[in-house]
Structure 1
Amino acid sequence: MAPESDPTARLTSAMIVGALRRRVAAAGGFATVLAKGDEISGVILVQTLEKGQETGLFERVPNFAGGYALMRCGPSPAEGSESLSHYVTRRRRADPDLWLIELDVPEAERFAAETIC
């Protein structure tokens, strides 16, 4: 008899990041881990680009339905890369277990939302 699956089991952060990287690569995009966090439960930040142009920074956050959502965070792309760098540095200082993954693919936000939520 096969063991029953645990309904509270969830994918690790490392597995989610790996799946996201593979999906983006399969679509002809580029994905790289800029900062590796805790393998099991590190917070995931996704920096999105399209053709090298910054389009946003998003965080995977728990939602009220028991799942996850992708929420825009940090400075807007119009504020420049220096603002983004300062924001990420502050976040990593406060939470060294945080992941930062960069996606450069059309509709990067959609890829992230479909994969990590």
Structure 2
Amino acid sequence: MSGSLPTAILVSALLKRVNDAGGMGMVRARGDAESGTILLILNEEPGASRLLERVIGVHGKPVFVATGPIDANDAGARDAYWRRRRSRDPDLWVIELDIASAERFAAETILDG
């Protein structure tokens, strides 16, 4: 991803923005500081979450794609999914966000970064 900011800086900026807005963000797994992939766990309503991954889209720009288990209420399946992904890709960052409009915060920070 030449021309983009290192992953560690994007993650740091995202966590700061979320925390400054009164939400909570945490790193569940730290990946490669320069070019690691980012997997987001978005907790926007009690008991339900969804997973998004930052990938390079068909036009060469970063985009989010939905990933993970279908049942948003199955925390065990969600955790098992990202742990399996992490075991195959140690460069993967796993970031959990607990704030309303979590996808908007992430898009403004790490897709434009």
Per the normalisation by structure 2, the TM-score is 0.89
1:75 corresponds in structure 2 to 69
| CA RMSD in angstroms, aligned pairs only | 1.5
Matched, 1:113 2:107: yes
Query: Structure 1 unaligned runs (5+)?
Result: 1-7
Q: Contact 2:30/2:92 (CA < 8 Å) preserved in 1?
A: yes
**For this pair of structures, how many residues does the alignment match?**
110
Query: Structure 2 unaligned runs (5+)?
Result: none
Q: Contact 1:52/1:104 (CA < 8 Å) preserved in 2?
A: no
Rounded Cα–Cα distance in structure 2 between residues aligned with 1:10 and 1:30 = 25
1:44 corresponds in structure 2 to 38
Rounded Cα–Cα distance in structure 2 between residues aligned with 1:77 and 1:102 = 17
1:10 corresponds in structure 2 to 4
User: What are the superposed Cα offsets for residues 87-116 of structure 1, whole Å, 9 maximum, x if unpaired?
Assistant: 111101110110000000001111112211
Secondary structure of the residue that 1:46 maps to in structure 2?
strand
User: What are the superposed Cα offsets for residues 29-65 of structure 1, whole Å, 9 maximum, x if unpaired?
Assistant: 0000010000000110010012553321100010122
Per the normalisation by structure 1, the TM-score is 0.86
1:3 corresponds in structure 2 to none
What is the letter of the counterpart of residue 109 of structure 2?
T
Rounded Cα–Cα distance in structure 1 between residues aligned with 2:56 and 2:64 = 9
Which is higher, the Rg of structure 1 or of structure 2?
1
Q: Identity over the aligned pairs, expressed in percent? A: 45
1:85 corresponds in structure 2 to 79
What is the letter of the counterpart of residue 82 of structure 2?
V
